[in-house]
Every structure is written in C-alpha cells, then in structure tokens.
Amino acid sequence: MARALKILDSADVSNTGLLALAPVAISTTAARKLNFFNLSRTALGEILSKEFGLPAFRSTQIFQWVYRKGITDFALMSDLGAELREKLALCFEFPKAEIATRQISSDGTRKYVFKLSDGKLVEAVMIKQPTRMTLCVSSQVGCGMGCKFCRTATMGFVRHLSAGEIMAQVVGVIDDAKEFGDSFSNIVFMGMGEPLHNYKGVLETLHILTDHHGLAISQRKITVSTSGLVPAIRDFGTHKAPANLAISLNATTDEIRSRIMPLNDRFPLAELMAAAKDYTTVSGKEVTLEYVMLSGLNDSAADLSRLVKLVNGLPSKVNLIPYNDNAGLGFQTPAKAWVMEWRNKLVSKGINATVRWSKGQDINAACGQLVTESARQKKTVSAERRPSAGVVR
Ligand code: SF4
C-alpha cells in the first residue's frame, strides 16, 4: 500500500515524468489517483513497470478489461492477483463524465451534455446515419478560433480537455448506447473546440482509441477536423497521427475566408493548401476539405470554379455542408438544388464530392450549432428560441 501511494505523490510524479501522463482528472474525488482514461497502454505499462515491476502484458490485460469488457472495478479483474488488484485500486480511478442532459432528435440523433469535474459542460453527439452511427466529440470547452458561422465560437476559449475527458465522453456514450441497442462505428473530432489547438490531448486520445487491445477503432474511422492551424497540420502528418484529417476550408479567397474565419489572417489560403498538400505526401492519406456553404457569401459560380482549381492535384475529397440556420449569426442556408449543382459540378470535374446534410437540427446538434446551454443563455439574445447545439467545421 505504501508503495502504491508513493507514486501518487506529486513530487515523485513530476520527477519520474508521470506528470505528463496524468493531466487533469475529471473526478472531484480521489484527487491523488491517476485518471486511467488519460493513459495510453504504453503509458500505463511504463507506470506499472516503474512502480510495481510488472511486465508489459499486465497493461494489456487491464486495457482489455476496461475497454473491451467495460469493467472498471479492479476487484472484478479476475486474472490479476488479489494483492495487485488492491494496489491498482489505490492508484487509479475511472472518472466517468456525468451526463447532464440527453436529447433525442426526431431523426434518431442523440445529443449529450457532459458535466466535467469543474462544472464545465461539453457536448457530444451520436449522429444517426442510414447505415451507421457516428460519434462527434468535443476537444475543448468553448473555442478560440472565432469562426463567424459557428455557435461554439460565441463561448470563446475556456480550456482544453484532457485525453481522459475526451475518453470520458466516448465511454459515457458507449454506456448510454446500451439502452438503445446501438453503437458507433466512426468518431469525428468536430464537436466543441479546435482539436489541433489541443494537439497533445487529442493525439493521446487517438492512441487510446486505436489501441488494438482496447476499443480498437480503426484509424480509417476517425476524423480530426481543423479550421486550419498550419503548423499542427504539418505535425499531424509528421507524427503519422492515427486518424484522417479534415480541413474546414469554407472559402476560395482570402478576403472572404478572413471575414468568416479570423485564423485565415495568420494562415492564409496559399499556406493552408500547401500544408494540406504536404500532409497528404507525408502521411500517404488524402485530406477532406469541408466547405460550409453560406448563401450569397461563398457559394457563387466563381467560388465553385476557384474551388475546383484549389483542389486540383490534391489527394482529397470535398464535403459540402449547407449552413445550418442559427439565429443571430447572420448567414443564410443555400437552396438544396444549388448545393446539388455544386456537388454535381465537382464530380463532373473528377473530384470526389459529397454533401453532409444536417442531422439533429431540432435539438441543436447539427454542424455549427454546438454551444452549451449555460453559455447560450449568457451569450445569445432572447430572440433565440429554436434548438441549437454545436460545432461547425
Ligand atoms: S468552427 Fe470549429 S474551429 Fe471554428 S469556432 Fe467553431 S468549433 Fe472553433
């Protein structure tokens, strides 16, 4: 027991480098314990080796219990010795995020608001699609990127989520989905926050999600979406991050892009597209370009021609996203026929193009609509009485 407590001493944790492995825990209890959900299997193995002298296969066993069997009580991990189980229980906790609210859309999409240990709220969405469910998770509380068409931007940046807090959304939704008899096959980092701004937390999460002894989610089924943080895009490729990359493009000129995405002033289109190209070269993957269509602003015939040129030679696909009408943000949704004309024109030019029609609009779970209720009440005017929630990228 003394040994178990020793590794939890903050000075020791710092000296042994464990601090980096143990970011903010979600739970308000047992503050001296390590949040298991923050740890990759490699990180867990290092702790078990250093502190208990255990071989690597122990971390594999524990990962399988937690992520494959859903067991988070060490006492039930029957292939571990009784003494070890007691020690582990003193060292680790499994802080699940509390589901503050759950709303179900008429189209089957479910929106969750999770309450974190500090009372902050983040949203995750189970998006119902014809052949699958996709889980959309948040990576930050609020967002500092300031995209003008996005409700989350109205919150401003509050803080990053730790890997454990992102995993808590995943585990929380998995648990809740049992009630519906479904599960997700794909995960997208398109909830609240700019994922590549929280680069460390997101990368750690990706390694946990894809661990073949854990949830074993294929990296082909995970997509991280960025508003265009060029240095992080380059790092994402260099690190061979286990996920697909999507870039929220949304304009074909710097003038319009800077107007709707202030980040474009720092990383203009030419730099962004060069980074996208380099990413595809380094990673060997294609990149998805997301294009939120804002009627009369970025959806002209000239925009379409420029988009074709921008995409030319880039291993990519284009995802057109008709803007979700959010009260008070001042943009308009394009006509469905015009969206389809864009899509068909792109396809006729040999570009892989799809349209992402909104899901969960009646519960504010659609793209660009995510903002926690408390923030909405503070930041929106009383005229806003329709549903909303969200993320747009
Ligand atoms: S669209 Fe994404 S990056 Fe832009 S403000 Fe919204 S959450 Fe942040």
Indicate whether 234 and 212 sit together in one domain.
yes
Of ligand 1's listed atoms, the one at least distance from the Cα of 149 is 1
229, part of any domain: yes
Residue pLDDT, tens place only, 232-267: 999 999 999 999 999 999 999 999 999 999 999 999
Residues 88, 121: one domain? no
Q: Is 91 in the pocket of ligand 1 (CB under 6 A)?
A: no
Ligand 1 centre distance from Cα of residue 251 (Å):
15
| Residue found by looking up tokens 């504010």 in the block | 364
Looking at 43, 69, 93, which one is the last position of a domain?
93
Query: Atom 7 (ligand 1): residue with closest C-alpha?
Result: 193
Query: Is there a single domain that holds both residue 27 and residue 153?
Result: no
In a domain, 388, yes or no: no
Rounded distance between C-alpha atoms, residue 262 and residue 229, angstroms? 11
Give the contacts of 135 (CB within 8 A, at least 6 positions apart).
124, 125, 126, 127, 170, 173, 184, 186, 187, 188
147 lines ligand 1 (CB under 6 A): yes
Judge whether 94 and 108 are in contact, CB under 8 Å.
no
**In the chain, how many domains are there?**
2
Q: Are residues 288 and 156 in the same domain?
A: yes
Nearest-CA neighbor of 211 among 336, 42, 13, 343? Answer: 42
Between 393 and 88, the more confident residue is 88
> Do 110 and 45 share a structural domain?
no
Is-contact 195 245, C-beta < 8 A? no
Q: Give the residue numbers annotated as catalytic, written as ranges.
A: 123, 367
- In this prediction, residue 60 carries a pLDDT of 97
The overall average pLDDT reported for the chain is 87
- Please check whether residue 338 lies inside any domain of the structure: yes
| Closest to 36 measured CA to CA, from 114, 115, 90 | 90
Residue 233 covered by a domain: yes
Residues 104 and 219 in one domain: yes
- At 141, the amino acid letter reads V
As a whole number of angstroms, the distance between CA 151 and CA 326 comes to 8
**Ligand 1 neighbourhood includes 122 CB (under 6 angstroms):** no
Please determine, for residue 386, whether its predicted confidence score (pLDDT) is greater than 50.
no
Span 83-97, mean pLDDT?
94
Residue 14 sits in the same domain as residue 103: no
Which domain-ending residue is among 27, 58, 93?
93
Ligand 1 touching residue 391 (CB < 6 A): yes
Most confident stretch, 118-132, 242-256, 315-329: 242-256
Could you tell me the CA-to-CA distances from 201 to 175, 208, 228, 272, 339 in Å, in that order?
A: 22, 11, 18, 23, 35
What is the domain-level CATH number for residue 193? 3.20.20.70
Mean pLDDT of all residues in 93-121: 95
Closest approach atom of ligand 1 to CA 248: 1
pLDDT grade for 324, boundaries at 50, 70 and 90: confident
Residue 225 beta carbon below 6 angstroms from any ligand 1 atom: no
Residue bearing the bigger pLDDT, 347 or 8: 347
Cα–Cα distance, 377 to 362 (Å, whole number): 18
Q: Strands 316-322 and 186-189, how do they pair? A: unpaired
CATH number at residue 11: 1.10.150.530
**Predicted confidence band of residue 371 (pLDDT cuts 50, 70, 90):** low
Distance 72 CA to ligand 1 centre (A): 34
Can you give the pLDDT at residue 149?
A: 93
Task: Return the pLDDT at 370.
Answer: 64
Q: Are 156 and 194 in contact (CB under 8 A)?
A: no
| Ligand 1 geometric centre to CA of 304 (Å) | 23
CB 277 within 8 Å of CB 314: yes
For residue 232, the model assigns a pLDDT of 98
Percentage, residues of the chain above pLDDT 70: 84
Residues of the domain holding 208: 98-379
Q: Measured between alpha carbons, how far is residue 85 from residues 61, 112, 252, 302 in Å?
A: 12, 33, 57, 65
Mean pLDDT within 317-335: 88
Using CB atoms within 10 A of its CB, is residue 314 exposed (0-12), middle (13-18) or buried (19+)? middle
Boundary of a domain, candidates 59, 93, 127: 93
